[in-house]
């Protein structure tokens, strides 16, 4: 039996465009002689359509896309992620389903049973779970095929130490005698997840002696980035088809080929973060109609990295870097920024803010900063003036403004509301400062990552895209004389491991301290993160590209108004 992975990049609500991609992939699969092509979860409408799934028009016409897809399946079978109406009087009005089609006929649906409501997921808000007692298998190319939707595959009692549900729909279809298990997914990228999926699929295939087709969505929608990385495992648990990550992928394999496919998964997590950010920028801009971008370039590593990623995602000819020196900007920062612009080949301009800053300081009778933190109002005016300039350029030239703040800063409130938090997309809002440095180094080592535009390959490989001075320099907001981040914050090398445990592992203070971190520092950091003023800032951030679990934004929900405060146990 030949099976095709239909890993396509969908857009929320672009039903016509999504269906066209489905049909194109079906035609390729037929040309490859495939028996079955499998698409991701809710391919027809876009998985992250959120409350659009409650819209009466969407519900009433939920199956219209299938009417266009059915004729294209003459001579092949397809599993297509879609939604369908719930005609019962009770429950949510729509199911999250897999439509199983063969030779132009709809064989039936496999409705999603387990509805996640953790991290970025909120399925119970929109979908009715499958309540039927008896699942059924589908006859495809002479094989009994069991079909499950995303979470229904992720509850294997022999793989997971802790499980969220009592049921295991995938195990149920295997017990019914499925000769092939198909799992359609919209599983977002976060660190470590690509390998986790490979291990999970291979484990279940080998343990149950059944081939598994695991197809995952690819593409960015708002801040959520789906990495694809679909795979097919044979009954021995060997991966026989591994889709590329962060790219569309339509390829076919013979199930009993016995040829392991080593492509795609390298285990390079920093490289995966880089690719996720590039795809996130590209898709957010393209799907929202932006051809050009703008950002403020300070000479620091954060804005430098955003500029490099934006040039890769959108092409350097479409990226504008604006340098906005103030009385406290160092000469080195301007020179470093100019060198970066030459390396990237993007557009730049200088818009000084010194005169406007001095005018406002005099008008408002503010104290001029002589050291960091001495006059926060005057410091913040500089950041807000830059925000005004960048928003004006964004409005007048139709450019997407990319915010450049990193997760470490945003977590503890080391940012200026209506200043450096301005923007249409927060590129590094889920990237810790130490990870920013790692990705910057990765770009210099892997300069071939800039192959999306022409250059002299041999020359580029031998030089730095990002000047090493920028990576090595001591972090500074440069809003006051001789100001450095470390004057106000713990060193990032000490702060980031605490933030990582807190956000990504939901670790308690005791668990963080037990990992070797200083108790006073841990409590200082956590009380900074959880302070109402900093939550107030974070809730006004632009959409943030997500690369980790429980990220700032929709992956982590906290009230602004609260009186919780952590105390070191006596």
Q: Which residues are catalytic?
A: 41, 112, 150
3-class DSSP string for 326-363: CCCCCHHHHHHHHHHHHHHCCEEEECCCHHHHHHHHHH
DSSP-assigned beta bridge partners for residue 215: 184
Using DSSP's 3-state secondary structure scheme, residue 553 falls into strand
d(CA 110, CA 156): 19
Taking residue 89's Cβ as centre, other Cβ atoms within 10 Å add up to 5
The Cα 197–Cα 231 span in angstroms is 9
The CA–CA distances, whole Å, from 305 to 279, 402, 436 equal 15, 11, 7
* Start-to-end C-alpha separation, the chain: 66
How many CB atoms lie under 10 A from the CB of residue 57?
8
Angle at CA of residue 59, ends 64 and 62, nearest 5°: 20
d(CA 437, CA 406): 11
Rounded CA separation 95/84 (Å): 5
Give the count of alpha carbons within 13 A of 209, CB side only: 2
How would you classify the pairing of strands 2-7 and 249-254? antiparallel
CA distances from 41 to 60, 109, 144, 186, 216 (A): 20, 13, 21, 5, 7
Q: Whose CA is closest to 100, among 142, 138, 152, 64?
A: 138
Question: Quick check: 194 and 265 in contact, CB under 8 A?
Answer: yes
CA triplet 283, 285, 291: central angle to 5 degrees? 125
Q: What's 237-275 look like in SS3?
A: CCEEEECCECCCEEEEEECCCCCCCCCCCCCCHHHHHHH
DSSP-assigned beta bridge partners for residue 425: 402
- 519 contact partners, CB below 8 Å, separation of at least 6: 509, 513, 568
Adjacent-strand bridge partners of 293: 319, 400
Cα–Cα distance between 44 and 426 in angstroms, integer? Answer: 28
């Amino acid at each position: 039996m030949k099976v095709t992975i239909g890993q396509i990049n969908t857009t929320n609500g672009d039903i016509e465009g999504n269906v066209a991609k489905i049909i194109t992939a079906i035609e390729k699969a037929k040309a490859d002689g495939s028996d079955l092509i499998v698409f991701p979860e809710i391919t027809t409408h876009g998985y992250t359509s959120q409350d659009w799934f409650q819209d009466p028009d969407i519900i009433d016409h939920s199956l219209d896309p299938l009417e266009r897809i059915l004729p294209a399946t003459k001579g092949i079978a397809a599993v297509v992620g879609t939604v369908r109406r719930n005609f019962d009087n009770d429950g949510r009005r729509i199911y999250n389903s897999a439509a199983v089609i063969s030779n132009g006929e709809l064989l039936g649906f496999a409705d999603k049973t387990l509805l996640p409501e953790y991290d970025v997921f909120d399925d119970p808000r929109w979908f009715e779970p499958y309540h039927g007692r008896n699942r059924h298998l589908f006859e495809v190319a002479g094989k009994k095929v069991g079909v499950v939707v995303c979470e229904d595959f992720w509850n294997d009692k022999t793989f997971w130490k802790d499980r969220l549900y009592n049921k295991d729909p995938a195990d149920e279809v295997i017990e019914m005698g499925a000769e092939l298990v198909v799992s359609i997914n919209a599983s977002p990228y976060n660190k470590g997840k690509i390998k986790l999926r490979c291990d999970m699929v291979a484990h279940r295939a080998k343990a149950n002696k059944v081939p598994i087709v695991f197809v995952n969505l690819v593409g960015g929608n708002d801040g959520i980035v789906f990495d694809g990385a679909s795979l097919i495992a044979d009954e021995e648990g060997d991966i026989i088809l591994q889709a590329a990550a962060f790219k569309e992928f339509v390829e076919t394999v013979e199930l009993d080929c016995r040829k392991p496919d080593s492509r795609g998964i390298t285990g390079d997590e920093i490289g995966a973060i880089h690719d996720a950010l590039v795809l996130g920028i590209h898709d957010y801009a393209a799907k929202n109609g932006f051809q050009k971008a703008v950002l403020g370039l300070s000479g620091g590593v954060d804005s430098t990295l955003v500029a490099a990623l934006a040039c890769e995602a959108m092409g350097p000819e479409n990226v504008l870097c604006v340098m906005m020196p103030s009385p406290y900007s160092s000469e080195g920062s301007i020179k470093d920024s100019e060198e970066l612009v030459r390396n990237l080949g993007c557009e730049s301009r200088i818009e000084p803010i010194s005169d406007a800053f001095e005018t406002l300081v005099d008008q408002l009778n503010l104290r001029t900063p002589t050291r960091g933190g001495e006059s926060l109002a005057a410091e913040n005016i500089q950041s807000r003036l830059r925000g005004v300039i960048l928003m004006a350029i964004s409005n007048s030239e139709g450019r997407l403004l990319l915010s450049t703040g990193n997760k470490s800063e945003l977590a503890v409130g080391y940012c200026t509301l209506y200043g450096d938090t301005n923007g249409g997309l927060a590129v590094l809002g889920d990237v810790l400062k130490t990870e920013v440095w790692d990705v910057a180094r990765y770009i210099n080592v892997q300069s071939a990552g800039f192959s999306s535009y022409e250059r002299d390959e041999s020359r580029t490989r031998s030089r730095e895209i990002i000047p090493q001075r920028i990576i090595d320099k001591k972090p500074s907001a440069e809003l006051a004389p001789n100001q450095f981040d470390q004057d106000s914050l713990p060193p990032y090398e000490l702060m980031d491991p605490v933030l990582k445990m807190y956000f990504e592992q939901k670790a308690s203070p005791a668990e963080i301290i037990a990992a070797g971190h200083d108790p006073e520092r841990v409590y200082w950091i956590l009380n900074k993160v959880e302070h109402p003023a900093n939550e107030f800032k974070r809730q006004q951030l632009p959409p943030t590209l997500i690369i980790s679990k429980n990220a700032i934004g929709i992956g982590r929900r906290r009230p602004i108004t609260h009186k919780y405060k952590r105390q070191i146990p006596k």
